[in-house]
């Protein structure tokens, strides 16, 4: 047998087991479909926000480049935490309707109803008794029967009708059919009234905000839920709430700066008018036309010092405002605070303190105020607050020191005019005061314009570069993956069962098994479906090998019953008869003591006597008939007789000193020749089919059915 035919022989059990593999495959796909059908669908959408960057962003242009209140450079990770903070989520909830969570109940799967609900629930909540409880009800023919469950215990039952008010623990519920929905509303439903903290907690558990890269100022918002429209609306609301909060925070900071500058401009304007009036009066009284050239350098120096002094006063005012802000304790209404030209470190500390406060609010949802986690958060908040207070005090001390130094420098510079004539000295003093106030006024006016522009600009430097979309396909369950895994596992399971069954059965499959475990000669094989041809070949082979003559006895025996002794005996008799031999078939009676005499008489009357005996493992008469016969055909049935029974024939021959035993393989596969050699699909060349249907039918008949 060549290598190709060996491979085909090894694949023969697999080919025969194709129907079982197909059935397992179909069952696996059916089970996978049920898993897909009864697993709640999960949808996901993604939105991306480009954060403003002073180096490359919109706020880096000339209009906003010097105004750090509007264009501060935010840390990406801090902004990611801010975007998914409870404060932003709470603002997003204002544009969403998530207070009631409604499900349609099924035997194996509950479906979340959002905008696709066939019914509408209208509430008049007069108390909080429905919160933290589950309400289940059934609608049938316009009638409503329901119950309220708390901790898996029914605490209240109710009945009602569609379009009528139903009392629920002092609250009023009205259920109506949505006219635009044509689906059947009969069925079981469940809903739960969520508190604000529950809504925030639910969104937080399904929200994921991450930076695409630590070097790229882009945040990715990912939200997952069981309804595609809900996923879209929640993601859109969170992104918009973040943008609007950013605009509000920046505009509010700019408005505070404008108010501070306006107050300063008013003060400087009054002083400037007075200085201008004094200078004009002095020139008119003293007939002075020009200021001396040598005093210009001193005036410029004093002007610069006074500008620095004004800047220090502005910073001092910002620190004072921040000190009042921290002392008041009301600093959790906004996401970020920037006062005028304040220190960025202080702003970041305030943000950090607010983030700790948000965490404390989340902990209070689960724990009491005296819990160790809540107290730890309080301690951290207090530490940051004390650090801010100390920072403010230190900044104020440094500002006072710098002010004193500048004032001393101004005082020192003003003495440079003591040696000038009184008239010129007075003139320079007046001009110096006028120029100083004029420069301060121009500086404040420029800053006011910038702050006014910023406060009136209702745009965000952060941009939504990828808006969310309504997902068309669920992300879970993954139908393709489930079907693929189910199909693959079913194929592996089917193949494993086939070869495991073949291995465990340990039955004879071919002539090679007989040759491997027995030294007895093999008379031939009998294949499925080729009875007449194979028995004719067997009869002719026996005639050629044994030179059968008159009064020849052939005993057909086996180790076990049902191996085909009677079948072989009957067809072998027909084969010898068709050749021309007078043949008789005799069924040996194990209880008849005169069987030998009967056989002797049959041998006289017939040329060939075929004996159908008892199985050798069942009765000793079978061995006795073998001994009195000229030839014993020891039948073994392929696919039935175990391999460990093959040596039984050798044992009988050695034990009883027999020389006439030949093995005969019955029920061999059709894809072998009459000598027992496997030749695959070439076994019947004259039966080759031409059409595809005939070939398929021929394949099934040959390799699967047989």
Least confident of 30-34, 37-41, 177-181, 593-597: 177-181
Looking at residue 451, what is its pLDDT? 73
CATH number of 100-193: 2.60.40
Answer with the residue of higher pLDDT: 488 or 698.
Answer: 488
Q: How far apart are CA 661 and CA 555, in angstroms?
A: 9
Looking at residue 464, what is its pLDDT? 85
Mean pLDDT within 526-547: 80
Q: Where are the beta strands (DSSP E) in 30-95?
A: 43-50
Looking at residue 484, what is its pLDDT? 92
Q: How far apart are CA 188 and CA 371, in angstroms?
A: 41
Asked if residues 491 and 624 have their Cβ atoms less than 8 Å apart, the reply is no
The DSSP output letter for 158 is: E
Q: Which of 694, 704, 669 is nearest to 683 (CA)?
A: 669
**φ, ψ for residue 644 (rounded to 5)?**
-70, -5
Looking at residue 348, what is its pLDDT? 74
Answer with the residue of higher pLDDT: 242 or 283.
Answer: 242
pLDDT at 242 over 70: yes
- Where do the structural domains in the chain lie, given as residue ranges? 3-39+479-504, 100-193, 511-704
Mean pLDDT within 672-683: 55
Q: Which residues contact 151 (CB under 8 A, 6 or more apart)?
A: none
Q: Which residues contact 411 (CB under 8 A, 6 or more apart)?
A: none
Mean pLDDT within 642-650: 88
State how far the alpha carbon of 78 is from the alpha carbons of 90, 209, 336, 465, in Å. Answer: 18, 11, 11, 20
pLDDT at 705 over 60: no
Q: Which of 47, 40, 49, 70 is nearest to 58 (CA)?
A: 70
Q: How confident is the model at residue 404 (pLDDT cuts 50, 70, 90)?
A: confident
The length of the chain in residues reads 706
CATH number of 511-704: 3.40.50.300
Looking at residue 31, what is its pLDDT? 92
Q: How confident is the model at residue 681 (pLDDT cuts 50, 70, 90)?
A: very low
Looking at residue 682, what is its pLDDT? 43
Please determine whether the domains at 100-193 and 511-704 fall in the same fold group of CATH: no
Percent of the chain surpassing pLDDT 90: 11
Q: How far apart are CA 149 and CA 135, in angstroms?
A: 6
Looking at residue 706, what is its pLDDT? 46
Q: Which of 384, 397, 638 is nearest to 522 (CA)?
A: 638
């Amino acid at each position: 047998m060549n290598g190709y035919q060996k491979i085909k022989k090894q694949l023969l059990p697999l080919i025969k087991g194709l129907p079982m593999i197909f059935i397992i495959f179909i069952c696996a796909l059916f089970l996978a479909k049920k898993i897909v059908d009864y697993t709640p669908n999960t949808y996901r959408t993604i939105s991306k926000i480009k954060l403003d960057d002073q180096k490359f962003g919109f706020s880096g242009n000339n209009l906003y480049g010097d105004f750090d209140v509007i264009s501060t450079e935010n840390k990406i990770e801090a902004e990611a935490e801010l975007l998914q903070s409870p404060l932003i989520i709470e603002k997003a909830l204002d544009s969403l309707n998530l207070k009631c969570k409604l499900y349609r109940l099924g035997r194996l799967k509950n479906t979340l109803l959002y905008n696709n609900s066939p019914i509408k629930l209208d509430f008049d909540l007069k108390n909080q008794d429905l919160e933290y409880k589950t309400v289940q009800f059934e609608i049938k023919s316009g009638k409503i029967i329901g119950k309220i469950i708390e901790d898996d215990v029914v605490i209240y039952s109710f009945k009602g009708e569609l379009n009528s008010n139903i009392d629920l623990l002092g609250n009023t519920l009205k259920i109506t059919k949505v006219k635009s929905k044509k689906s059947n509303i009969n069925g079981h439903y469940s809903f739960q009234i969520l508190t604000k903290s529950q809504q925030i907690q639910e969104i937080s558990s399904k929200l994921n905000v991450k930076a695409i890269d630590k070097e790229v100022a882009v945040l990715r918002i990912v939200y997952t839920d069981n309804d595609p429209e809900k996923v879209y609306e929640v993601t859109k609301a969170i992104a918009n709430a973040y943008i609007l909060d950013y605009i509000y925070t920046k505009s509010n900071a700019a408005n505070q700066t404008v108010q501070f500058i306006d107050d300063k401009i008013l003060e400087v304007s009054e002083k400037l008018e007075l200085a201008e009036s004094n200078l004009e009066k002095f020139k008119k009284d003293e007939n002075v036309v020009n200021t001396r050239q040598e005093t210009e350098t001193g005036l410029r120096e004093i002007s610069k010092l006074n500008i620095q002094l004004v800047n220090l006063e502005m910073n001092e005012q910002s620190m004072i405002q921040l000190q009042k802000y921290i002392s008041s304790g009301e600093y959790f209404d906004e996401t970020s605070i920037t006062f005028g030209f304040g220190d960025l470190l202080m702003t970041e500390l305030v943000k950090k303190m607010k983030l700790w406060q948000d965490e404390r609010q989340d902990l209070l949802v689960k724990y009491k105020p005296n819990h160790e986690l809540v107290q730890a958060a309080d301690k951290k908040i207090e530490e940051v607050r004390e650090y801010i207070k100390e920072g403010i005090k230190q900044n104020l001390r440094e500002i006072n020191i710098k002010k004193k130094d500048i004032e001393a420098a101004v005082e020192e510079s003003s003495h440079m005019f003591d040696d000038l004539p009184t008239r010129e000295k007075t003139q320079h003093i007046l001009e110096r005061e006028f120029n100083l106030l004029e420069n301060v006024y121009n500086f404040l006016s420029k800053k006011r314009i910038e702050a006014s522009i910023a406060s009136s600009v209702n745009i965000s430097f952060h941009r939504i570069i990828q808006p969310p979309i309504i997902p068309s396909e669920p992300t879970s369950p993954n139908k393709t993956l489930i079907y693929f895994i189910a199909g693959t596992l079913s194929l592996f399971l089917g193949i494993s069962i086939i070869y495991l069954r073949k291995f465990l059965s340990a039955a004879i499959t071919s002539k090679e098994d007989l040759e491997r475990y027995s030294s007895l000669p093999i008379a031939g094989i009998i294949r499925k479906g080729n009875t007449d041809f194979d028995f004719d070949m067997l009869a002719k082979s026996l005639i050629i090998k044994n030179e059968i003559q008159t009064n020849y006895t052939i005993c057909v025996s086996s180790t076990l019953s049902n191996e085909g002794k009677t079948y072989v005996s009957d067809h072998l008799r027909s084969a010898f008869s068709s050749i021309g031999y007078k043949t008789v078939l005799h069924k040996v009676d194990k209880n008849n003591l005169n069987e030998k005499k009967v056989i002797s008489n049959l041998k006289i009357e017939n040329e060939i006597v075929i004996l159908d005996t008892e199985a050798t493992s069942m009765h000793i008469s079978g061995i006795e008939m073998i001994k009195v016969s000229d030839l014993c055909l020891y039948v073994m049935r392929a696919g039935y007789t175990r391999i460990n029974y093959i040596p039984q024939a050798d044992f009988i021959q050695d034990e009883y000193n027999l020389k006439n035993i030949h093995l005969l393989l019955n029920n061999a596969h059709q894809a072998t020749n009459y000598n027992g050699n496997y030749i695959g699909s070439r076994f019947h060349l004259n039966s080759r089919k031409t059409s595809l249907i005939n070939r398929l039918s021929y394949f099934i008949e040959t390799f699967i059915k047989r």
